[in-house]
């Protein structure tokens, strides 16, 4: 992904960053609609920019979404209770200084595969999330 030199941020391998073709508010709305249409629960929507403003700080438009489907997550947590720290799933929508919008998704399949000794079949459904997010934010 291309970003301005001023905003070249480190990106860990287990985070997928997707550029959106829409503005910030539209991107958030499209993701929420994609969740609803796929029976994915939006557990929390945290406006981190608003929280920052409440403490007197300034942060670019940034919203953290905590989401999931208990039918997909519960077997993972049943197989290894420690894996619950990775769930629900997380995505953050943020805007850079040039009003470009991105959706960053924590790809828990990499983390679950590497650290929890789980059968990959147990988190197979989660592998579809990046494609779902991608289709929601591109026209």
Angle at 20 (CA atoms; ends 16, 24), nearest 5 degrees: 110
Ranges of each domain in the chain: 16-137
Residue 88, preceding peptide bond in cis (omega within 30° of 0): yes
CB-based contacts of 116, cutoff 8 Å, min separation 6? 80, 82, 83, 86
pLDDT at 8: 78
As a whole number of angstroms, the distance between CA 25 and CA 106 comes to 21
Average pLDDT per 10 consecutive residues for the chain, totaling 139 residues: 60 93 97 96 97 96 97 94 96 96 94 89 90 92
As a whole number of angstroms, the distance between CA 17 and CA 24 comes to 15
**CATH of region 16-137:** 3.30.310.70
Instruction: For CA atoms 76, 89, 116, 118, give the dihedral sign.
Output: positive
pLDDT at 5: 44
pLDDT at 7: 67
pLDDT at 2: 44
Q: What is the pTM for the complete model shown?
A: 0.90
Residue 87's closest CA among 71, 104, 67? Answer: 67
């Amino acid at each position: 992904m291309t970003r301005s030199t001023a905003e070249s941020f480190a990106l860990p391998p287990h985070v997928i960053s997707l550029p959106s073709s829409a503005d910030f508010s539209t991107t958030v709305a499209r993701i929420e609609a994609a969740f609803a249409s796929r029976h994915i629960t939006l557990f929390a929507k945290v406006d981190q920019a608003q929280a920052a403003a409440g403490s007197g700080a300034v942060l670019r438009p940034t919203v953290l979404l905590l989401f999931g489907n208990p039918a997909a997550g519960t077997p993972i947590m049943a197989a290894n209770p420690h894996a619950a720290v990775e769930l629900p799933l997380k995505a953050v929508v943020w805007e850079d200084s040039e009003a470009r919008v991105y959706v960053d998704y924590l790809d828990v399949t990499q983390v679950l595969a590497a650290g929890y000794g789980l059968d990959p079949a147990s988190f197979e459904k989660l592998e579809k999330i990046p494609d779902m997010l991608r289709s929601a934010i591109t026209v």
